[in-house]
Amino acid sequence: MMTVMTPRLAALALSLGLATATGLVAAQEAPKVKFATTAGDIVVEVYPDKAPKTVENFLQYVNDKHYDGTIFHRVIDNFMIQGGGFDSRYIQKPTRPPVAHEGQQALAKGGPRNVVGTLSMARTSDPNSASSQFFINVKDNASLDPVVIPPGDPVPRFEYKGRVYRNEPRARLAAAQELYGYTVFGKVVSGMDVVNKIKAMPTGAAGPFGSDVPKTPVVITSATLVK
């Protein structure tokens, strides 16, 4: 028996369909964070589908107000601007344990590379040492990109810096720190003019740093999740 849909039922079905579609779009929308700084506002979006642990770690610092009162303490024109770790007295703020490195996984999932405007985690020489500090690329920094290891064990063919390696044990490549790069987990969606203003500021020595500190401090007055 065929069911005839009345105009009222058809309208209801259409509205429910639109509501479902809207809900899916909202669910997939990248979280955004606004950095209000003394140089202007910067809004970034982050990608939990590409680097879930990194994004969770970053948003927890935002929610904990860790970034409020911190400075951009390392600014290098034609490279990047870095912040999120030191207050205006150049005292390093306490952090939680470091987050696992997700650079290779994020890139393998189609995440962005270290190009202009992207947001990446700062770290020491240990790939798994990132905590609260981040940087914004102000040029395309291919040298900072993670290198994705092809499938297989051994890996039948692997090319790095113009050299071809064949039948390399996967564990050996996975342990090579020079392949880790820096985890990209977001990008600037508003306020790139502010980023460019910061990168062009005169820098020098200050606090424990021998160079690259803006002579006019750039303070993050607040970091908030954009609703």
Contacts of 203 (CB under 8 A, 6+ apart): 75, 76, 211, 212, 213, 214, 215
DSSP for residue 76: E
Domains annotated on the chain, with CATH: 29-142+182-226 (2.40.100.10), 147-180 (no CATH)
Residue 208 tokens read as: 């424990």
**Which residues on neighbouring strands pair with residue 155, listed in sequence order?**
168
pTM for the predicted model, two decimal places: 0.86
Number of other CB atoms surrounding residue 109 within 10 Å: 14
pLDDT of residue 21: 44
**pLDDT of res. 177:** 93
Nearest to 207 by CA among 70, 94, 81: 70
Rounded CA-CA distance 96/93 in Å is 10
Query: Are the C-beta atoms of residues 163 and 169 closer than 8 Å to each other?
Result: no
**Tens of pLDDT along 52-108?**
999 999 999 999 999 999 999 999 999 999 999 999 999 999 999 999 999 999 999
What pLDDT, on the 0 to 100 scale, is given for residue 8? 58
pLDDT score for 189: 98
pLDDT of residue 168: 94
Tell me how far apart the alpha carbons of residues 45 and 187 are, in angstroms, rounded to a whole number: 6
Write out residues in the chain with pLDDT < 70, as ranges. Answer: 1-28
Q: For residue 46, give the nearest of 34, 36, 33, 37 by alpha carbon.
A: 33
How confident is the model at residue 143, as a pLDDT? 95
SS3 48: coil
User: Other CB atoms closer than 10 Å to residue 26's CB: what's the count?
Assistant: 8
Q: Are 197 and 40 in contact (CB under 8 A)?
A: yes
Query: Angle at Cα 113 formed by Cα 151 and Cα 138, nearest 5°?
Result: 160
Give pLDDT, residue 10. 52
pLDDT of 227 = 75
C-beta separation of 59 from 44 below 8 A: no
Q: Which residue has the tokens 């770290």?
A: 123
Please name the helix (run of DSSP H) or strand (run of DSSP E) that holds residue 15, with its range, or none.
Answer: helix 7-28
